[in-house]
Amino acid sequence: MNSSFKLSTYNPAKKYAGFHFFVLNKGLNSGKPLYEACPNCFVIECETEDQKESLYWICFALWQSHRFRQHLIGSVILYIRKKEMLNLVRDTFQKAQAKNELFQKSLILLKTVNEKDHHFEDLAATLKKIKREVARGLVR
């Protein structure tokens, strides 16, 4: 894995090609990785698909573990500075490269747990709809 990647402020006028993803930079969800851009985000441009995948999940892990929160500033609207985001992601990426085998195993587990989480969220939403319809039928 190469550790060369670019983090920049998202520009809606620019067309992004190649391997990239977006990261929220405002609010308590700062650091959350996204596949689609939004107005308050950075873009991380990578050299390979593997690097993009690794960096995406590193950002996800940092976001889930609230590691970005300690770097948030602002009194009304919290945000993270580009330099702070870059340093945190780069340092974590380098640590992951140094322990690549452990990183890959953890990555597989994180992806699996995340998939299960989405599955259960979908299941809960379906059960909620069923419960609503049964309740409607009961009071008709």
Each residue's pLDDT, cut to its tens digit, for the chain (140 residues) gives 456 899 999 999 999 999 999 999 999 999 999 999 998 999 999 999 999 999 999 999 999 999 999 999 999 999 999 999 999 999 999 999 999 999 999 999 999 999 999 999 999 999 999 999 999 999 98
Q: What are the phi and psi torsion angles at 29 (to 5°)?
A: -95, 15
- For residue 21, the cross-strand partners are 44
Q: What is d(CA 107, CA 57) in angstroms, rounded to the nearest whole number? A: 7
pLDDT at 140: 86
Q: What is d(CA 123, CA 135) in angstroms, rounded to the nearest whole number? A: 18
Q: How many residues would you count in the chain?
A: 140
DSSP 59: H
Q: What is d(CA 64, CA 53) in angstroms, rounded to the nearest whole number? A: 16
For residue 111, which amino acid is it? Answer: K
Please identify which residue in the block is written with the tokens 């992806």. Answer: 111
Q: 44-70: buried (b, 16+ CB within 10 Å) or exposed (e) per residue?
A: bbbeeeebbbbbbbbbbbbbeeeebee
As a dihedral over the C-alpha atoms of residue 77, residue 61, residue 66, residue 24, rounded to 10 degrees, the angle is 0
pLDDT at 4: 85
For residue 139, which amino acid is it? Answer: V
pLDDT at 2: 54
- For residue 96, the cross-strand partners are none
